[in-house]
Structure 1
């Protein structure tokens, strides 16, 4: 008889459950950190509990809550929260666990622009460093005027930048966004002509792949993603500014036109916030704009909203804690250091702390609860410095620099893990001075 045949069947099942549970439980680290997929951690704990339930008739609710505290429930998908976590009997039976679940629900309501009285952000609403994604700085131009192919990536854990694989095309004033763990670069100018083409970077292959082209070639466009599709908004060429808006369907690799904006906007900023896509500032071909409008995809309609306090184009736009941040840019005379914040629940703009230096053509994205401003032009030179805004301190501070001084780059946060992206060393040999 084989040794395994001597083990009773129920003991085999216990052993399998134990091995699975121990493997899963190991994803919860001693410091409370956990692996990138929070839902996996919750399921890991369920596997551990399943083993214990096979040995005893009760389970300590306190232990469940202790592990639940280590899982940042607000950052889990809504369908997992409502379909799995909320249906767990032991969570429903414990007030402390239910409070954590309510916090997660209120967080999602807050982000959807609903007014949630007394809602407060906590450490549970902030991603851990190794799950926060990778910050990409894509393309742009430096002192020579020639656009870059080069990509620089920021490691949050190491607080350092490194070069990633280059794009197929040089691109300045390019639209960049990350959706589904991939990075998309759209349009721009290659130094000779305006571009309508798009390429996509897949961290799993470490390559850029050409995708379908837009209908209108342009630079100075902004990208936003809402509910799956990518929206390419505004832009300009050598003759005019555009109010054109195109929508890209990722699955079919096709572009289609949607309702145009009310105002042409070149050098516009954009972000998806709640159930709308916002178009902020830009230049209409005559002057920089303080006006703002938002797109409702269900109505296929743009509506004007309250304007900013300052006219600006070439500004960076990002979302943080349910608010829209507009950073730097140019008025009709010079680059700006001012930063404004829009709260859609109050329909109100407020100024926050200024940048440490003016930045026109700045790239902006949100990482780990801070707004990062990368590069730009300060009126004298192209910049390679990077600074970050902490809303709790209402303060910008320098946090290092990219290798290439650049403005007109696209900046986005990709949900991939930093280890997936290959460091290509020095990147492009076309490193220019900052003048």
Structure 2
């Protein structure tokens, strides 16, 4: 009966205009599954022996307890007599508690991510590769979108402006492209792609025109960090308010950073600025922004200097991928755990990548394009953290570096495939 009511709600939801429901949306959440399980158990008292002999734990394994709200875990699940009376189920409760402690930046010895700590909807989302440039020198306005199921890329609607070294991020199911260079001048303007309309729309411009910026989002506002023009590197940081379509300045970084990487990370939601170039040399330093104090603070340095690096997050850690030192593109990859305040190297890329675009989807970190010191790349590789291994996946159509890469929470079927892309995009080789 509970499942029937849930299905009716979904069916009603699908009938509302403009509402598209993906397969992932139809999956009940953890609290629903647990409550349905409890209702079934109460109805079938004759199966009590079935639960008491340990099968209850097998059923509970299907519920991702760590992803339930703490209030539901402590107020409902933990008070269930059969959970309390089964040692295996109590182990699952301990796993859930440790997960929430881990998220709150507490050090939990021997904590490991499992299938129960990964949302079922973690496969939802489309990987966007936006702009950049290839061997022709002219920036692209084209975008390519990755279909995980087909392991292939297709062209989406083009931007209004050509953009290389552009900042790209996805917030609220939309993709934002900010700043960059169009081949003639530096840009301060921003445009937004809405999968529901399949169009790019111009939005408010930043106060400072620049390329090589990084974007991060904290619960809504978008932060545009660092960057450079032909004369200097910037420590400027601007915040974009989506509702009012306006930019405002916040505290500048301690260090100018062009070609910087950035991501929001942690329960307290700091914005991290990683590496970059200060106008003299590539940087190994890292700093983070506390929005409540409007202040940047230095944190532990990376093991290697790098600019034009890609940054993303996975399993509560920050990954910095590739980039350039002062001499050449890098294949090294480092991971920062904010709970331990420590950097460590993980497996290297299959090829050096400077100016690489990086994002996380389906529990893997993707590195798209870049330059290996000789040519622009169209290859893409993905990092599997459990295997500590990079493997090549479907390549983008155009070799490109300085592209922005982000994951949009839309469904791949929403985005119109425009075929072979614009005829004015030259072969980058």
Number of residue pairs aligned between Structure 1 and Structure 2: 423
Cα distance in structure 2, aligned partners of 1:266 and 1:297: 21
Between 343-352 and 256-265, report the one with greater CA deviation.
343-352
What is the match of residue 116 of structure 2?
A: 124
Between 53-62 and 16-25, report the one with greater CA deviation.
16-25
Spell out, residue by residue over 1:208-267, the C-alpha distance to the aligned partner (whole angstroms, 9 max, x if none): 222222111111000111232211100011111100011112222221111100000000
Cα distance in structure 2, aligned partners of 1:111 and 1:324: 14
Q: Indicate whether 1:426 and 2:427 are aligned.
A: no
Between 287-296 and 248-257, report the one with greater CA deviation.
248-257
Unaligned runs of 5+ residues in structure 1 are 1-8
Q: Give 1:374 shift.
A: 0.3
**Is the contact made by 2:357 and 2:404 (CA closer than 8 Å) also made in structure 1?**
yes
Q: Give 1:428 shift.
A: 2.0
Cα distance in structure 2, aligned partners of 1:257 and 1:25: 36
Q: Secondary structure at the match of 1:397?
A: strand
Q: Give 1:80 shift.
A: 7.2
Q: Indicate whether 1:387 and 2:366 are aligned.
A: no
Using a 3 Å threshold, how does the CA distance of structure 1 residues 289 and 25 change in structure 2: closer, same or farther? closer
Between 85-94 and 136-145, report the one with greater CA deviation.
85-94
Spell out, residue by residue over 1:289-346, the C-alpha distance to the aligned partner (whole angstroms, 9 max, x if none): 1111111111111111111121110000111222211111111111111111112222
**Is the contact made by 1:235 and 1:266 (CA closer than 8 Å) also made in structure 2?**
yes
RMSD (Å) for aligned C-alpha atoms: 5.0
Between 42-51 and 230-239, report the one with greater CA deviation.
42-51
TM-score by length of 1: 0.83
Q: Indicate whether 1:307 and 2:301 are aligned.
A: yes
Q: Indicate whether 1:258 and 2:250 are aligned.
A: yes
Q: Indicate whether 1:69 and 2:61 are aligned.
A: yes
Spell out, residue by residue over 1:366-411, the C-alpha distance to the aligned partner (whole angstroms, 9 max, x if none): 1222211100001111100001112222221111200010000111
**Is the contact made by 1:24 and 1:44 (CA closer than 8 Å) also made in structure 2?**
no
Cα distance in structure 2, aligned partners of 1:10 and 1:189: 49
Q: Secondary structure at the match of 1:201?
A: strand
Unaligned runs of 5+ residues in structure 2 are none
**Is the contact made by 1:129 and 1:157 (CA closer than 8 Å) also made in structure 2?**
no
**Is the contact made by 1:341 and 1:349 (CA closer than 8 Å) also made in structure 2?**
yes
What is the match of residue 110 of structure 1?
A: 102
Between 151-160 and 17-26, report the one with greater CA deviation.
17-26
| Aligned counterpart for 2:342 among listed residues 319, 325, 348 | 348
TM-score by length of 2: 0.84
- Superposed, 1:84-233 pairs within 5 Å as 99-128=91-120, 131-233=123-225
Cα distance in structure 1, aligned partners of 2:73 and 2:203: 35
What is the match of residue 298 of structure 1?
A: 292
Q: Give 1:205 shift.
A: 2.1
**Is the contact made by 1:335 and 1:378 (CA closer than 8 Å) also made in structure 2?**
yes
Cα distance in structure 1, aligned partners of 2:87 and 2:213: 49
Using a 3 Å threshold, how does the CA distance of structure 1 residues 248 and 19 change in structure 2: closer, same or farther? closer
**Is the contact made by 2:52 and 2:82 (CA closer than 8 Å) also made in structure 1?**
no
Using a 3 Å threshold, how does the CA distance of structure 1 residues 200 and 17 change in structure 2: closer, same or farther? closer
Cα distance in structure 2, aligned partners of 1:11 and 1:412: 32
Q: Give 1:75 shift.
A: 4.5
Q: Secondary structure at the match of 2:17?
A: helix
Using a 3 Å threshold, how does the CA distance of structure 1 residues 408 and 96 change in structure 2: closer, same or farther? same
**Is the contact made by 1:315 and 1:328 (CA closer than 8 Å) also made in structure 2?**
yes
**Is the contact made by 2:122 and 2:362 (CA closer than 8 Å) also made in structure 1?**
no
